[in-house]
Amino acid sequence: MRLSRLSIAIAVALAIAAPGIWYMQRPQTVTTVMPKRGNVAEIVYANGVVEPRTWAKVTALVRERIVEQCECEGQAVEQGAILARLDTSEAQAALVELDARLRLARDDHQRLAVLVERNATSQQSVDRASSEVAQLEALVAGQKAKLESYILRAPATGTVLRHDGEVGEITEPGTILFWVGQPSPLIVVADVNEEDIPRVKVGQRALLRSDAFANRNLEATVDSITPKGDPVTKTYRVRFKLPDDTPLMIGMSTDVNIVIRVAENALTVPSLALRGNAIYTVDGGKAFRHELVTGIRGMKDVEVQSGLTADARVISPFPEDIADGARVTSAKE
């Protein structure tokens, strides 16, 4: 009787456990893709801004009020043309005062020069007066030069691309009031990380993307690379030549993809299918891990140089929780 009861208990336990055992052994469902052939490119990415090749900023050198400003935005100007004037009333008053002091100093010097000839004063007094005249002459010349900085002029022949500030506003030194340059040709200026710059060469092709022209293929060519990088941002400035018919406009921002090299008709797999160089394939209902020899790693695809056949069934995305040799079933089956 006891043996029969024991047998029944074991049978019941097995019956209860059996669904759990079957569940644990059920194959995990995965998604598989086939390797494909196509072109894959090695890309260096950067952010850029469209600028004229030739242009200059016109800034105020003194803190003063704008009293006159041309309405010339978008218009052509000659080099030296007056763009704006700043209030010179205080500077002119200072110049008048210096001129008055200079006249008195000169009169005093002439008077002492006559006296020294009559032995009525010392040569030392004449020398001091001469020195004061020279100092005041230098101050007057400096003040006249400073007054010239109250007039903002076009630094070169070109177009006024933009102007800021209005009559009556007070400018601070260094404030940019005008951008003057040639509206064409245009370039893209971008900062490239220092770890990528050794791969960037003059003449390389660059693919551009702009939100303003999201459906257009835009291209440029690496035109120049600054010899010295910025040690703070750890970047190098790279300039890209734009074609004459580019729709991009001055000031637009762009994503720049510099094409370093291209592998044509290469065997590729999705980037999501790899962790490092490891990949999983499905064969006979089981997942097997492989180490590949890879080449170019594009944004979406990776070039496979060896370690994978063209008819392999690759698990994608890479399965993080599957052991080598585990049973799997494909979602496409």
- Express each pLDDT in 1-42 by its tens digit: 444 554 544 444 444 444 444 445 678 888 888 898 988 888
Residues 132-158 have a mean pLDDT of 91
Beta strands 301-306 and 28-30 are unpaired
- Express each pLDDT in 172-208 by its tens digit: 998 899 999 999 899 999 999 999 999 999 999 999 9
Residues 217-235 have a mean pLDDT of 94
- Express each pLDDT in 77-103 by its tens digit: 999 999 999 999 988 999 999 989 999
Mean pLDDT of the chain: 87
Instruction: Tell me: pLDDT of 65 over 90.
Output: yes
First-residue to last-residue Cα distance in the chain: 51
- Determine contact, residues 184/48, Cβ cutoff 8 Å: no
- Name the band, by pLDDT with cuts 50, 70 and 90, for residue 109: confident
Sign of the torsion angle spanned by Cα atoms 5, 11, 17, 19? negative
pLDDT at 241: 96
pLDDT at 332: 55
Q: Which domains does the chain have, with CATH numbers?
A: 26-39+264-330 (2.40.420.20), 55-87+150-181 (2.40.50.100), 89-148 (1.10.287)
Q: How many residues does the chain have?
A: 333
State the pTM of this model. 0.68
Instruction: Tell me: pLDDT of 234 over 90.
Output: yes
- Name the band, by pLDDT with cuts 50, 70 and 90, for residue 223: very high
Spatial CA neighbour of 69 closest among 154, 166, 157: 166
Instruction: Tell me: pLDDT of 152 over 90.
Output: yes
* DSSP letter, residue 155: S
pLDDT at 24: 52
- Determine contact, residues 158/182, Cβ cutoff 8 Å: yes
